[in-house]
Amino acid sequence: MTTEEEEIADIKVDSVGDFYFPEVHKYDAGFGVGEKTVDYIADVKNDPDWVREFRKKGLEIFNSKPMPTHWATKDLENIKFDEFRYYLSSGEKPKRSWDDVPEDVKRTFDRLGIPEQERKFLAGVEAQYDSEAAYSNIKAAVEEQGVIFVNSAEGLAKYPEIFRPWFGKVIPSSDNKFSALNSAVFSGGSFIYIPKGVKVKHPLQAYFRINSEQFGQFERTLIIADEGAEVMYMEGCTAPKFETSTLHSAVVELVALKGAKIQYVTVQNWSSNVFNLVTKRGIAMEDAEVRWIDCNIGSRLTMKYPGVIMKGKRARGEVISIALANSGQHQDTGAKMVHAADDTTSNIISKSISIGEGRATYRGLVQIPKHLKGCKNNTECDALLINTSSRTDTYPAINVKGNQHATQHEASVSQVSSEQIFYMQQRGLSEAEAMSLSVNGFINDLVREFPMEYSVELKRLIDLEMEGSVG
């Protein structure tokens, strides 16, 4: 057997994105989370004292908080925190050249289209493999504008004067049990700073890959757009399917200063053994805008409610989301909009598709206090059921006080029409093709919000999920 054949034989393959390489780790914190785990991670990463204290405070909060019950599902009871490993790393520093990335990691990301996408249209790429970034690069023209795009550890070490004032301020450790867990064991993620007035023309991208079994990935991302700056950041997520559970619990903090614009695009394609429990929130100052564009495919359970705190006058917040739940999956997604200044505007558009025995849930929160004036909110929730056993739920909470605001809420639930499917079959399409066309028509207006490269990938992933759904 040749060397190339041996390398191919090492790869375990079932479907797109569902492959992994044998584990090779220099650092392994072992199973379970406790003070020893936190000290191990802090020692390996050579954390300064304030970061070690931040981690230990996060652990204390995590241990003191019960599992959430209000914004939560019963499936959380199946998470066994002692059965996960919380830090795995080869000990390699992030590479600036793709040629220097270790072969097994390189082959993983090559299969997923990185750095092919970077060559085509991206301004910078970071690729994380288990607990640490394996590759981090930014194009010279963007770097010359003063843009910082590094992994969180590097941001913490090299740019503390920018990083520290906002770190943990948008989402404090005490926000919820899983943000506290992330605070204790966080590793990886991106730090981005866009200087005043700089408009990054091409997207920055991060890709998060879980390769190891019984593992938890806890990246932490902080993006700061200074006054008048603009940036689009895109992230992709995949993991192979194991017999055991995998945990992903990220924290993402966005800061859009006066007149700035941040767009955060996510296409997740987790395998069906992943608990995906993340906290994402942005602050929009005066005349600033934060947009979350989100697609949730795969995972056993996703709980994700991107939020925007509109802290300055005329600030704008928007969440556009698509969720697809297949059998054995629960997509519990939504949005949180907090109006904290006059003349602020928020928009929530959510579409979900439930296939087989899949369950999709929308949970939303809109808060407009009495002392404000001129605030506007629009919320639209549309659900599509593919089978009679599919399920969808909508839990909107819109809390508006005072009489100087405008809010509207619209929700709909529909099933794929058998007459429509029959009509398309008479035009030469198979039943599966007709079903896929119906689903893509349902979400087409939202898919257009994604960058072209992602919208093509998104439609392909949905087609894959629709295979075998007829009947």
Q: How confident is the model at residue 428 (pLDDT cuts 50, 70, 90)?
A: confident
Higher pLDDT, 172 or 113: 172
Q: How confident is the model at residue 313 (pLDDT cuts 50, 70, 90)?
A: very high
Q: What's the whole-number mean pLDDT along residues 69-91?
A: 83
What type of residue sits at position 332?
D
C-alpha closest to that of 399 among 361, 365, 375: 365
- Prior bond of 451 cis (ω within 30°): no
Confidence (pLDDT) at 282: 98
Residue 61 pLDDT greater than 90, yes or no: yes
> How far is it, in rounded angstroms, from Cα 128 to Cα 140?
21
pTM of the model: 0.89
Report percent pLDDT > 90 for the chain: 54
- Order of all β-strands in the sheet with 132-138: 132-138, 124-129, 204-209, 230-238, 261-270, 289-298, 316-325, 345-354, 376-385, 406-415
351's torsion region: left (phi>0), alpha (psi -120 to 50) or beta?
Answer: beta
Confidence (pLDDT) at 346: 98
> How far is it, in rounded angstroms, from Cα 298 to Cα 291?
23
Report percent pLDDT > 70 for the chain: 87
Confidence (pLDDT) at 6: 39
Confidence (pLDDT) at 189: 92
Q: What is the mean pLDDT of the chain?
A: 86
Q: What is the pLDDT of residues 184-217, one digit of tens each?
A: 999 999 999 999 999 999 889 888 878 878 888 9
Q: What is the pLDDT of residues 21-39, one digit of tens each?
A: 455 668 888 899 999 999 9
**What CA–CA distances, in Å, run from 255 to 7, 207, 218, 397?**
43, 21, 20, 25
Domain ranges of the chain: 3-304, 426-471
Q: What's the whole-number mean pLDDT along residues 156-171?
A: 95
